[in-house]
């Protein structure tokens, strides 16, 4: 377990900033307890600093995970967010998309959000901005990138992609072996 290097931190915060913007500081400077990001076996974890001190007594080979896994660095050096960080991204996200109740399962099977299953979208969402996908009961289902800005969504074909799928809560079942 080690702190992130400058290059790793730049990539990680760059990816996170797509979704939550300047709210990154709210993740670190929390009022209840200070938190930090640590790297364990190519995975970035969000850890309470008090728990971090307690975990320092555990050997590297014995420590599997601690805190919340935000994602991992691939072998090529890119950072990929995991669905396990959805709760934190949903709290601080800037752009949101809601899908129709009848189409929730389509999204949870790993498909993109098309215009036909889109219920509503926040105003002024730019193209390629990070968005959190909600159902109509405001339960976060996953996240992705806006394929089209808000103003173009009204005039799109029903089969046009509105949100590019990145992760959804269905991954807990589809990829349960690799999420740890």
The β-bridge relationship of strands 2-3 and 79-81 is: unpaired
Enter the pTM of the model: 0.87
CA distance 66 to 47: 7
Instruction: Looking at 21-103, list the stretches that DSSP marks H as alpha helix, in order from N- to C-terminal side.
Output: 24-28, 49-55, 86-92
Spatial CA neighbour of 45 closest among 28, 69, 21, 25: 69
Q: What is the pLDDT of residues 143-176, one digit of tens each?
A: 999 999 999 988 899 999 999 999 999 877 777 6
| pLDDT (tens digit per residue) in 45-88 | 999 888 888 888 888 788 777 889 999 999 998 999 999 999 99
């Amino acid at each position: 377990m080690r702190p992130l290097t400058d290059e790793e931190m730049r990539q990680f915060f760059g990816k996170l900033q797509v979704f939550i913007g300047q709210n990154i500081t709210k993740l670190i400077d929390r009022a209840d307890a200070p938190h930090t990001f640590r790297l364990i076996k190519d995975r970035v974890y969000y850890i309470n600093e008090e728990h971090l001190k307690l975990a320092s007594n555990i050997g590297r080979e014995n420590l599997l995970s601690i805190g919340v896994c935000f994602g991992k660095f691939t072998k090529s050096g890119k950072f990929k967010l995991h669905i396990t960080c959805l709760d934190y991204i949903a709290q601080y996200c800037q752009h949101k998309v809601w899908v129709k109740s009848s189409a929730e399962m389509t999204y949870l099977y790993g498909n993109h959000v098309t215009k036909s299953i889109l219920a509503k979208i926040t105003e002024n969402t730019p193209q390629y901005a990070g968005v959190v996908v909600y159902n109509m009961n405001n339960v976060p289902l996953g996240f992705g990138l806006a394929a089209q800005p808000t103003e173009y969504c009204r005039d799109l074909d029903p089969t046009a992609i509105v949100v590019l799928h990145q992760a959804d809560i269905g991954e807990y079942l589809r990829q349960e072996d690799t999420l740890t």
